[in-house]
Amino acid sequence: MKNLRRKTLAAASAVTLGVGLAVTGGLAPAASAAGPDTTFLVLAPQGATTDKAAARVAAANGTVVASYDQIGVLVVRSTNPEFVTDVAGAGVESVASTAGLGTALEEGETLEVSAAEAANTTADPTKEPLFGQQWDMPMIGVPQAHAVNAGSADVVVGVLDSGISSSHPDLATQIAKDKSTSCIGGVTDTTEAAWNPTTSDHGTHVAGTIAAAVNGVGVTGVAPGVKVAAVKVVNDDGYIFPEAAVCGFMWAAEHGMELTNNSYYIDPWELNCRNDARQRPVWQAVQRAIRYSQSKGVLHVASAGNSNYDLAHKLDDDGSPNNGTPEERENLTNACLDLPAEAPGVVTVSAVGPTGAKSYYSSYGQGVIDVTAPGGDTRFRTQGVRSTLTDAILSTTWSRANGNGWGYKQGTSMSGPHATGVAALAASAHPGLNPGQLAALLERTSVSQSCPEGVYNPVPLIPSGPNAYDATCSGGERNGFYGAGIVNAYNAVK
């Protein structure tokens, strides 16, 4: 059976830089004994206002901290240990506590690039000192694309992540500060300090891949002409809670963003099962937020994950939740989805290494993967024995100890922003496309990649075992490893 080695954000990166449903009934008296201060998602019936739900929240000794009337979702805090029971009734479709539903951010070892390296000039046509170490950019046609269209400042990409360093020399001019916010706790805070990183540079790395400036310093992004907005959804402890994700999608919808990049998972379950009473309210709230933002013109791009898991053939899950005692869940069905990667309309991205072959860690699945992009593969050269750090993705970094810098990470968290950057170039070159049209263009301009024959495993000598990363690709020109193919920036803009 497959053990889902679930990793969040830059997971699979040995090389990084750097619930129950409410029951129906009348208003119940609020419990007198106080419990822990807990966050809940309270959903009104689809299409209904939140007025009745808000009244029931107040009667159940809860406080509404954020109201998303557009989708009928309330973010609530309460110390009432019987809140789920007490809030149930007319006007409330479902309710779920989000306690324990965060997913820890895992960070690997750091490999930094020196400031001297970042400042040296080269003869590269992009004029960026570290471009020679960015093998990923030529792979997807970035130099040729920049000669045609390097991106429009009218295109804004929301980076739902751990924040973006606003003082980084490669990003300071690239951030749409008026569209940036923190969504921690499901509540927006637009102060600059709130949406800057505090414990993780993951969002800064992702933002650099999308839009690092062409300014004679450091690296280039895929689309340096566009703007990125920091939408912070990872808290200081490294957790991504559902209320923060809902807030992020809604913020993007209401602030004119064309795209969001989502290199994260929404709760600790590798697969969120809509037929599981504990998880269904979370799925409902997230799906409502995604659908609403899509209706407002936002295309969402998400990473496929780093578990080398076949998302098209879900059998079991014995590694979730990953923030507690794992449960054995067998005989899973397609009601169990990887969020947000498998939400309808979301572009799902797998990862390839420098050879263009599937990265050993990348999840896959026929009919699930839409496109693929460079995410790094530090093990293929040694068949898994040890890491070659420079085969990861070089981008912008930040740390509390060393401040701003540049360094390497790998994961589908890194492939996602490459696809997002190409989509941003496409939106710049072909304005007016709706999310579906933009996604179709991204796929149509990708370069198809054939399935390898037989069982694929580029790392048979990895310490975890000779068959630890076995995978089998299915499909033809569009297949389970690569979807429509490797994204191509030049094809998207010409």
pLDDT bin (cut points 50, 70, 90) of residue 113 is low
Average pLDDT over residues 391-415: 95
pLDDT bin (cut points 50, 70, 90) of residue 120 is very low
- Among residues 23, 74, 71, the alpha carbon closest in space to that of 48 is found at 71
Instruction: Please give the Cα distance from 288 to 246 (Å, whole number).
Output: 9
Q: Which residue has the tokens 């993951």?
A: 202
Cβ(442)–Cβ(347) below 8 Å: yes
pLDDT bin (cut points 50, 70, 90) of residue 112 is low
DSSP 338-352: -TTTTSTTPEEEEEE
∠76-79-83 over CA atoms, to 5°?
Answer: 65
Say whether both 297 and 367 belong to one domain: yes
Q: Is the pLDDT of residue 6 over 50?
A: no
- At residue 329, the 3 state secondary structure works out as strand
Say whether both 48 and 141 belong to one domain: no
- Among residues 456, 478, 271, the alpha carbon closest in space to that of 366 is found at 478
In this predicted model, which residue has the larger pLDDT, 33 or 433? 433
User: pLDDT tens, 163-190?
Assistant: 999 999 999 999 999 999 999 999 999 9
pLDDT bin (cut points 50, 70, 90) of residue 296 is very high
Percentage of the chain modeled with pLDDT above 70: 86
For strands 181-182 and 227-232, give the pairing: parallel
Say whether both 91 and 116 belong to one domain: no
Say whether both 70 and 160 belong to one domain: no
pLDDT of residue 483: 98
- Among residues 18, 20, 2, the alpha carbon closest in space to that of 413 is found at 18
Say whether both 255 and 320 belong to one domain: yes
Please give the tally of structural domains in the chain. 2
User: pLDDT tens, 73-107?
Assistant: 999 999 999 999 999 999 999 998 887 655 443 43
Least confident of 158-172, 209-223, 326-340: 326-340
Instruction: Please give the Cα distance from 333 to 329 (Å, whole number).
Output: 11
Tokens at 335, concatenated: 């009601």
- Among residues 24, 27, 95, 92, the alpha carbon closest in space to that of 59 is found at 27
Say whether both 63 and 212 belong to one domain: no
pLDDT bin (cut points 50, 70, 90) of residue 419 is very high
Say whether both 201 and 90 belong to one domain: no
Q: Which residue has the tokens 């990049």?
A: 261
Q: Is the pLDDT of residue 387 over 90?
A: yes
Percentage of the chain modeled with pLDDT above 90: 75
User: pLDDT tens, 12-47?
Assistant: 333 332 322 222 233 334 444 688 999 999 999 999
pLDDT of residue 4: 40
Average pLDDT over residues 385-403: 95
CATH number at residue 191: 3.40.50.200
Residue 315 lies in a domain: yes
Say whether both 62 and 211 belong to one domain: no
Q: What is the DSSP letter of 481?
A: T
pLDDT bin (cut points 50, 70, 90) of residue 225 is very high
pLDDT of residue 22: 27
Residue 64 lies in a domain: yes
Residue 82 lies in a domain: yes
Residue 32 lies in a domain: no
Residue 9 lies in a domain: no
Q: Is the pLDDT of residue 111 over 80?
A: no
Q: Is the pLDDT of residue 336 over 70?
A: yes
Predicted structure pTM score: 0.89
Say whether both 191 and 76 belong to one domain: no
Just list the catalytic residues: 161, 202, 413
Tokens at 35, concatenated: 């419990």
Least confident of 6-10, 35-39, 124-128, 479-483: 6-10
Say whether both 45 and 189 belong to one domain: no
pLDDT bin (cut points 50, 70, 90) of residue 1 is very low
Say whether both 59 and 193 belong to one domain: no
pLDDT of residue 316: 73
- Among residues 331, 391, 338, the alpha carbon closest in space to that of 367 is found at 338
Instruction: Please give the Cα distance from 153 to 357 (Å, whole number).
Output: 33
Residue 5 lies in a domain: no
Pick the last residue of a domain from 70, 97, 124: 97
Could you tell me the residue range of the domain that residue 85 belongs to? 38-97
Helix, strand, coil % in the chain, rounded to nearest 5: 25, 20, 55
Residue 7 lies in a domain: no
**Residue 264 backbone phi and psi in degrees, to 5:** -160, 170
* H or E, element range at 191: none
Say whether both 117 and 93 belong to one domain: no
The overall average pLDDT reported for the chain is: 87
CATH number at residue 44: 3.30.70
Residue 11 lies in a domain: no
Beta-carbon contacts of residue 158 (< 8 Å; ≥ 6 apart):
179, 228, 229, 231, 248, 251, 252, 255, 257, 259, 260, 261, 298
